[in-house]
């Protein structure tokens, strides 16, 4: 049944990473319940409870639930099972923690002393607000003029415009890495044509003192403050929903005071 399920995911063009994750989750479930077709709702709830007790993060738990919903919905539609045991699984509540936002002074200082490659990494995260996986795998062919064609989550494409700071850096890096297909090539021994995301993550944290995601948050917040266009920022970040984008926007003390002042009672 697992082979057929994997074929189903391939046929609807799920991203390779999504397929690997879904299959991993179902195979782990199979180690506890070898007869997947006999699994009940209580079995799934007990399995998720076990993962919770073992300290699995809420985001990861949510991902497991999504895998179970995907697998058993397919199995039901395909006639492999009579009843979908996952259909009434309650959503996993994920408490949102606002990450720290990298301050501009720290990023300017780091970028001014960083070698060209590291500066490009920093700028792609802060100025283009790219996800770590997006900037790491960015091929040079993605750039047309000042526009970057970004392949994001779920194999979805979007156009991100590069400002002058970023564009000048990318053009300079293209000259320095002439003959390479990617901005951050993997090297002679690498299995991939680009660097591994975790390697890029370590470099950015070492050079700036901040992780790439905090740079992305900082860029999103700056973009919204300048434009007040939530929809445009959403597209820039490649988010599915405005709700996700709103979590990226961080109010500073001045903005909070302005909001508080706006609630003052005034006579008509």
265 inside domain: no
Query: Does 203 share its domain with 239?
Result: yes
What is the domain range of residue 42?
A: 2-77
231 inside domain: yes
Q: What is the pLDDT of residues 147-170, one digit of tens each?
A: 999 988 877 889 999 999 999 999
Query: Does 126 share its domain with 29?
Result: no
Query: Does 60 share its domain with 110?
Result: no
Query: Does 23 share its domain with 134?
Result: no
The CATH number assigned to the domain holding 39 equals: 1.10.150
Q: How many domains does the chain have?
A: 2
Q: What is the pLDDT of residues 103-128, one digit of tens each?
A: 899 999 999 999 999 999 999 999 99
Provide CB contacts within 8 A for 86, sequence distance 6+. Answer: 41, 44, 65, 68, 69, 71, 72, 73
Whether residue 226 has pLDDT greater than 90: no
d(CA 103, CA 142): 28
The CATH number assigned to the domain holding 246 equals: 1.10.443.10
Query: Does 184 share its domain with 66?
Result: no
d(CA 162, CA 152): 16
Query: Does 17 share its domain with 125?
Result: no
């Amino acid at each position: 049944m697992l082979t057929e399920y994997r074929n189903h995911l391939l046929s609807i063009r799920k991203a390779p990473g999504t397929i690997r994750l879904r299959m991993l989750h179902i195979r782990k479930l199979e180690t506890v319940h070898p007869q997947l077709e006999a699994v009940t709702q209580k079995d799934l709830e007990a399995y998720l409870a076990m993962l919770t007790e073992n300290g699995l993060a809420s985001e990861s738990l949510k991902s497991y639930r999504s895998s179970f919903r995907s697998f058993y919905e397919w199995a039901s539609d395909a006639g492999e099972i009579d009843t979908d045991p996952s259909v009434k699984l309650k959503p996993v509540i994920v408490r949102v923690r606002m990450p720290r936002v990298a301050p501009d002074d720290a990023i300017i200082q780091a970028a001014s002393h960083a070698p060209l490659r590291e500066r490009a990494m920093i700028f792609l995260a802060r100025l283009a607000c790219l996800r770590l996986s997006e900037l790491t795998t960015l091929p040079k062919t993605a750039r047309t003029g000042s526009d970057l064609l970004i392949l994001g989550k779920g194999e979805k494409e979007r156009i991100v415009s590069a400002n002058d700071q970023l564009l000048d850096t990318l053009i300079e890096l293209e000259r320095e890495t002439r003959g390479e297909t990617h901005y951050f090539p993997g090297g002679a021994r690498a299995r991939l044509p680009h660097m591994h995301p975790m390697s890029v993550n370590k470099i950015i944290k070492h050079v700036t003192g901040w992780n790439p995601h905090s740079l992305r948050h900082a860029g999103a917040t700056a973009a919204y403050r300048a434009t007040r266009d939530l929809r445009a920022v959403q597209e820039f970040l490649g988010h599915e929903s405005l709700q996700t984008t709103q979590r990226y926007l961080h109010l500073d003390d001045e903005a909070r005071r302005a909001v508080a002042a706006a609630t003052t009672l005034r006579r008509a």
